[in-house]
Chain A
Amino acid sequence: MSGMKSAFSFDGIQIAFTSGQSIMQAVLDGGGYIPHLCYHPQLSVHGSCRLCMVKVGDRYLSACTTEAQNGMQVENQISELRELRLKLLEMLFAEGNHFCPSCELSGNCQLQALAYELGMTHSRFPLQYPTRKRDGSHATVFLDRDRCINCEICVRASRELDGKNVFSLSGRGSDTALQINSEDGRLGSTDLIATDSSARLCPVGALVFKQGNYAERPNERLYDTHIISETGNRRPAVVSGGYPELGE
Chain B
Amino acid sequence: MAREEHKLRLATCSLAGCFGCHMSFLDIDEWLFELDKFFTFDRSPFTDIKTLENADVGLIEGGLCNQENIEVLLDFRKNCKLLVSVGACAINGGVPALRNGFPVEDCLLEVYQNGVGLQGTVIPSGKELPSLLPKVLPVHELVKVDYFLPGCPPPAEAFIELLCAIRDNRAPEIAYEHRRFD
Contact = CB atoms under 8 A, between A and B. Distances in A.
Interface in B142-177: 145, 147-150, 152, 174, 176-177
A99 B88 CA distance: 8
Interface stretch (B24-32, B47-55, B96-104, B118-126): B96-104
A218 B180 CA distance: 10
A245 B23 CA distance: 38
Contacts of B105: none
B177 to A, nearest CB: 6
A129 interface: yes
A12 interface: no
A227 B176 contact: yes
A127 B182 contact: no
A101 B181 contact: yes
Given A116-B176, A122-B148, A103 B91 contact: no
B150 to A, nearest CB: 5
A224 B182 CA distance: 10
Contacts, number: 67
B87 to A, nearest CB: 9
Nearest to B98: A99
Nearest to B179: A116
Given A122-B85, A127-B141, A129-B97, 8 more contacts: A99-B92, A99-B97, A116-B179, A121-B148, A127-B92, A127-B138, A129-B100, A131-B101
Contacts of A129: 93, 97, 100-101, 135
Interface in A90-110: 93, 97-103, 106-107
Given A121-B149, A122-B92, A129-B101, A100 B181 contact: yes
A103 B182 contact: yes
Contacts of A107: 182
Which of B141, B145, B152 has the most CB atoms of chain A within a 10 A radius of its CB? Answer: B152
A112 B93 CA distance: 17
Given A122-B92, A227-B176, A101 B182 contact: yes
B35 interface: no
B93 A122 contact: no
B7 interface: no
Nearest to A94: B92
Contact of B140 (A100, A106, A115, A122): A122
A3 interface: no
Contacts of A122: 85, 91-92, 138, 140, 145, 148, 150
Interface of B: 85, 88, 91-95, 97-98, 100-101, 135, 137-138, 140-141, 145, 147-150, 152, 174, 176-177, 179-182
A168 interface: no
Name A's interface SS.
loop
Contacts of B152: 100-101
Nearest to A221: B182
Contacts of A171: none
A129 B137 CA distance: 10
A100 B101 contact: no
A119 B94 contact: no
Contacts of B98: 99
A123 interface: yes
A123 B145 CA distance: 12
A225 interface: yes
Which A-B residue pairs are the 5 nearest by beta carbons? Answer: A100-B181, A121-B148, A101-B152, A129-B100, A106-B182
